[in-house]
Chains A and B, each alone.
Chain A
Amino acid sequence: MLSRRLFLKSSALIGCSAAAHPLMSSISFASAPGENRLVVIILRGAMDGLDAFQPYGDPMLRQLRRKLSQGPDQGATDLDGFFALHPALSPLMPLWRSGELAFAPAVSTPYRDKRSHFDGQGLLEAGIPSEDDLLARKDGWLNRLLQQMPGARAQTAYAIGLDDMQILDGPAPARSWAPEAGFNLSGQAQRLLEHVYHDDPLFQAAGDQAMEIAGAGMQVEQEDPGPARDARMLARFAADRLNGETRIASFSISGWDSHANQSRIIGRSLQRLAEAIITLRDTLGPNWGRTTVLAMTEFGRTVRENGTGGTDHGTGGAMLMAGGAIRGGRAYGEWPGLAEGDLYAGRDLMPMRDIRAYAAWAMRDLYGIPRDALERDVFPGLEMGDNPGVWA
């Protein structure tokens, strides 16, 4: 029980007290963990990959879906003659053309058959093979990556937003911030609070960092309004940090659970995802060339449309990849097909590869983490298989 507790967010404090120490911050540059940047976006609620990247070249799709995922006839943009991009993702077409957008259409975590959001996200973030260990396992795979990275420090990684990001929890120090947590203080109030916190190391460390971030122009009020505002806010904060010393950032975008009226629900969420990625690109500037974005969801959705214009919890689904560091403009991995015998349990898209394998290859190719450490420590029980060649 102690180890569970110890993990929980203990990292933030260790992080800032170490950073506040003058010696720590001056020597640390010598061993900074390189220039490559990784952003992991958790899509909570199970994104329908078949709607985001519509396999309109598969003749079965039209039989399974009457209203949804109708391909280029209904406004989706053709990608490669087989897949088409959902209209709400069309702002990403320039990235596709420049080789900075890719996807794996049929992947999943090892989670099978229960289809609970809670367990599915737990497994995705813990990076472990079985949900039986979820209650005991409170750390995440990005934290285990940090433990393998030489020169990683607290500011190397940021968990961003109000959602609990288990993916970064664990013994390695990491930082966290929620753009919503900003505040407006007069200069006088800020000075008085600094005075009040001065003699309490815990409050002084947290307060200093809060005022540094809140005072650096990250206030919520400055983001333009619009339905994707929250996602842009997360992305802008991530990019600002990644332009500094941070190399790994993670946040989540919710709102994918489209049991009914999917076209409205997924359209809104895809817009937020697209604006988050565009905001990352624009804000990262030249650093975008060294950046990889992985957008992952806990599981896919049923291949058949249900009776309420939506889809239900499934198994295989799509992962989106973006960034100047990837070889994009293509779909990665095999396509299982949609015919009756091709489906998982007669209802879901068959996953063709463990989604963790892509993340593991990203870590190996971006940060040089050895394969045995990835298969043993970061993703216990994973067989990475062949390099998909996204970064090679």
Chain B
Amino acid sequence: MVLDPEIAMIRLGYGLSPDSPQAVDADLLLASVATARPDADAIRMADIDARRQVENDLAAAARKPGSDKPTQRKSARMRRETIWMAQHAFQVRVARAVADPVGFGERLVQFWSDHFTVAGGNRFQSLIAAAHVDEAIRPHLGGRFSDLMFAAETHPRMLTYLNQSGSVGPNSAIARRRKDDDLGLNENLAREMIELHSLGVGGDYTQRDVRQLARLLTGLSYRAGQDRAFRPAMAEPGADTVLGVTYGGNGQASLNDIRAVIDDLAMHPDTARHLARKLAVHFVSDDPPADLIDRLAQTYRQADGDLSVVYVALAEAPELAAGFRQKARQPFDFVVAALRALGMRGGDLRQLDRRDSNGRLLRPLQTMGQRWAMPRGPDGWPESAESWITPQGLAARIDWSMRHPAKLLGDLPDPRDFLRTALGSTASQSLQWAVPKAESPREGVAIVLASADFNRR
């Protein structure tokens, strides 16, 4: 099925660019999903752990009495470089989103990493959060949801972010050995696995299911510098019953039980509905039609959780065109869409120096209300247009539009041409009226970028 290329690029991707393809169909969208797999720049846990070791050794050497200045400087430099690595991971995210001709795959990276929210924090937490995207999200974008979910839930950053690493079975070997330490269950990951990641808060489950799942998850843990492995000594012995199905209890707690419960959670009918609704809210409308949700949920169930089949159903839904401009672009989407429309290429973005990358991309996102990798809670970024188009949020977008394009490009395009590149045939009458009346190319381009037309999708 051939799609309206403008609708598809703007609603499912990061908007139009001078390189926009003339025609878009389902195959091109799925090719974009495949393109979003991890690339050579991917951040990997193995590299992070190795780096942490070197950094710790250097720091220890620098702290020793009588350590020389060069050692101290080297230690400080290494810490700064680690911070920069996490910032650079953001730069690569921008570059990849700008480079993908269609952008659907990179939008899905954003969508699923928000669905399985983890936050950054200190320099290593930020780096591990970037690894979560590269190691857990990107490899499974177009496959079965259960594979994506298993990878996302068991990644080190999820285990630390939602406190799973500190969850110990009250009758586990470790808890019995260390009675004075008051070790116990932490339900955080178990709750969010059901409430946010699978069935949804309205799903058919009880606190007892959360508690049982928390018991089943014990043993899943990450500590810096140690191999990521299931630790049977932390696991609560005995079988656990989650949503009526009993797992484990054969005396040998293992990761297989956790794999099994995730497979079942992934194929629960409430999960189909929850994911269908989230996709519809993100790509179609803050208040999506019930019929669309029903269809996507049914597709998910019939396809046995194969996400690519659901993506095609979403792309071919008539609601996609009917709901045009009902969504506001989030700050990251806005900046990427602007860079694409301005004709910047992935390589241009990768080559930005640290000062420009942080000053023109990373920090402005914070002013727009989206401090990179730091959503408020595990439910991720808000979806509603009202959450983003606040007075200060819009002011920050206007400010960015006025200041940065000229600095990034050197030569700005003619605003009238830019209007066509950025919005194609979708520009409103009032914007077409206003843009040619701007006093300078800089202001003309800024009015396009700051317009409601461009900030909605």
Contacts and interface: CB of A to CB of B under 8 A. Distances in A.
B390 A1 contact: no
A197 B389 CA distance: 12
B386 interface: yes
A21 interface: no
A327 B447 CA distance: 52
Nearest to B376: A164
Interface string B422-453: 00000010110111011100010011001111
A184 B383 CA distance: 29
B239 interface: no
Contacts of A183: 395, 398-399, 402
Contacts of A206: 389-391, 393-394
Interface in A188-233: 188-189, 192-193, 195-200, 202-203, 206-207, 209-210, 213-214
B375 to A, nearest CB: 10
B384 interface: yes
24 contacts: A4-B379, A5-B384, A9-B369, A12-B390, A135-B192, A162-B366, A164-B371, A166-B376, A177-B392, A178-B396, A181-B399, A183-B402, A185-B402, A192-B447, A193-B398, A193-B447, A196-B434, A197-B452, A202-B389, A203-B394, A203-B452, A209-B391, A210-B391, A210-B392
Contacts of A192: 434-435, 437-438, 443, 447
Contacts, number: 140
A207 B398 CA distance: 9
B385 interface: yes
Contact of A196 (B195, B382, B395, B447): B447
Contacts of B382: 5, 8-9
A182 interface: yes
A181 B433 contact: no
Nearest to B200: A1
Interface string B351-370: 00000000000000011010
Contacts of B431: 196
B23 interface: no
A196 B452 contact: yes
B392 to A, nearest CB: 4
A210 B367 CA distance: 13
Given A192-B438, A195-B434, A138 B376 contact: yes
Contacts of B10: none
Contacts of B376: 8, 138, 164, 166
A138 B375 CA distance: 12
Given A138-B376, A138-B377, A193-B450, A184 B402 contact: yes
A243 B173 CA distance: 63
Contact of A1 (B195, B398, B428, B443): B195
A203 B450 CA distance: 10
B49 to A, nearest CB: 23
Contact of B439 (A4, A8, A189): A189
B116 to A, nearest CB: 15
Contacts of B252: none
A206 B195 CA distance: 33
Contacts of B439: 186, 188-189
